Structure 1
Amino acid sequence: MTTTKWSIDPTHSEIGFKVKHMMFTNVSGKFEKFEATAETEDGFFTNTNFEFTAETNSITTGNVDRDKHLLSADFFDVENYPEIRFKSTSYSKISESNYTLKGDLTLRGITKPVRLDAEFHGTANDPWGNKKAGFGLTGKINRKDWGLNWNSALEAGGVLVGEEIKLNIELQFIKA
């Protein structure tokens, strides 16, 4: 069987997340520098291996002070852990365009399994003749599983930062 390699089109992809702030609103953020590859055995994304890395110092939430705090040892500790990595372990079809993507996520030197819901958006040729493929990924992780433990108690009860991180990822690949 022929292996087809795909690389990320970063101008048409986004690695985003949301986390509760003060227990009642969400703060959104994203990573601006990342790489991803996919390898298919059949060209149809039914049997696919995915790999992903993001530069932790590329995080942005739209607030300079918050971003500086996220880069510190309280959270991502970018001096010691410059990358987040994901390597798939399985990609299983659920329905026509819905899949389950499982893999190992490494963050702050800790590797744990994660499960993401994947929607395959299909393939098409762009106006320049390049074959493209699109995916939407969603999932949830608990930040404390990777040692991101910092928090602050609120006077009215609760905490400043939620533990659950909602992932919202849009990927567009280009056939190599």
Structure 2
Amino acid sequence: MSRKTIAAGLLAAFALASAAQAETWMVDPEHTEVRVYWDHAGFSEQSLEFTEVDGSLNFSLDSVPSSTAFFAIPVSSMETGVERFNSDLWSDTFFDVANFPLVSFNSTSFQQVGPTQLKVKGDLTIKDVTREAEFDVTVHNVGEHPVGKYFKYFAGTWLGVTAVATIKRSEWNMGAFVPMGSDEIRIVINSELRAQ
């Protein structure tokens, strides 16, 4: 399993940017970040990172709406930078990693809303709750990677994207300490992916 892999279900927007895309994309683990942000009692914005994600993306070359995707994130890969806080979040007060080790997303629709923008809706499952979440996806670049001139690993066709969603954690049975810690959570994914 790749480290720091993207929520692949958010990346079907790439199909609209080029007529010569592969059907499968693989994430570059060294150039992918999955981060979550929240307000801490009105004093600061805090964040954590998930360092492992497994996922798959399939899409039609001639129809973005036909794209489908799935991703799963091991909760144990979460890193806040504070060991005690990691343990608190893994506990049954929040993620309950012992009983619910994965967070998953299964796409239900893709919609093109601009030349390089897409809205991706799907079922987001956290713990034992599944609810709809919507990601705004921006495609930054599609094509030959300039670094490929120097390193074979980067040869071929690549995609660069950002995907953002905002959810309320209380809707996934994780409402402890709201509103001292904000209910609203912002998910930000940045990734480079290679065509297969």
TM-score normalised to structure 1 length? 0.88
CA contact (8 A) 1:8 1:36 kept: no
Stretches of 4+ moved more than 3 A in 1? 43-47
CA contact (8 A) 1:53 1:86 kept: yes
SS of the residue 1:161 aligns to: coil
Q: Are residue 168 (structure 1) and residue 188 (structure 2) matched?
A: yes
CA contact (8 A) 2:64 2:111 kept: no
Q: Residues 46 and 119 from structure 1, CA distance in 2 versus in 1: closer, same or farther, beyond 3 angstroms? A: farther
CA distance in 2, matches of 1:62, 1:47: 39
Q: Are residue 101 (structure 1) and residue 112 (structure 2) matched?
A: no
Which letter does structure 1 place at the counterpart of 2:98? E
Query: Which one of 10, 14, 31 corresponds to residue 12 of structure 1?
Result: 31
Structure-to-structure mapping, 1:1-176, within 5 angstroms: 4-42=23-61, 47-126=66-145, 127=148, 128=152, 129-151=155-177, 159-176=179-196
What runs of 5+ residues in structure 2 fail to find an aligned partner?
A: 1-20
What runs of 5+ residues in structure 1 fail to find an aligned partner?
A: 153-158
Task: Give CA deviations for 1:73-122 in whole Å, capped at 9, x if unaligned.
Answer: 01111000111101111111111111111111011021100111110123
Deviation at 1:64, TM superposition (A): 1.1
SS of the residue 1:9 aligns to: strand
Which letter does structure 1 place at the counterpart of 2:189? I
Deviation at 1:28, TM superposition (A): 0.8
CA contact (8 A) 1:131 1:175 kept: yes
CA distance in 1, matches of 2:142, 2:62: 10
CA distance in 2, matches of 1:113, 1:140: 11
Partner of 2:10: none
The sequence identity of aligned pairs, in percent, is 24
Which letter does structure 1 place at the counterpart of 2:180? L
SS of the residue 2:30 aligns to: helix
TM-score normalised to structure 2 length? 0.79
CA contact (8 A) 1:91 1:102 kept: yes
Which letter does structure 1 place at the counterpart of 2:107? S
Q: Residues 47 and 172 from structure 1, CA distance in 2 versus in 1: closer, same or farther, beyond 3 angstroms? A: farther
Deviation at 1:17, TM superposition (A): 0.9
CA distance in 2, matches of 1:124, 1:3: 11
Q: Residues 99 and 115 from structure 1, CA distance in 2 versus in 1: closer, same or farther, beyond 3 angstroms? A: same
SS of the residue 2:171 aligns to: helix
CA distance in 1, matches of 2:104, 2:46: 23
CA distance in 1, matches of 2:111, 2:64: 10
CA contact (8 A) 1:3 1:43 kept: no
CA contact (8 A) 1:8 1:37 kept: no
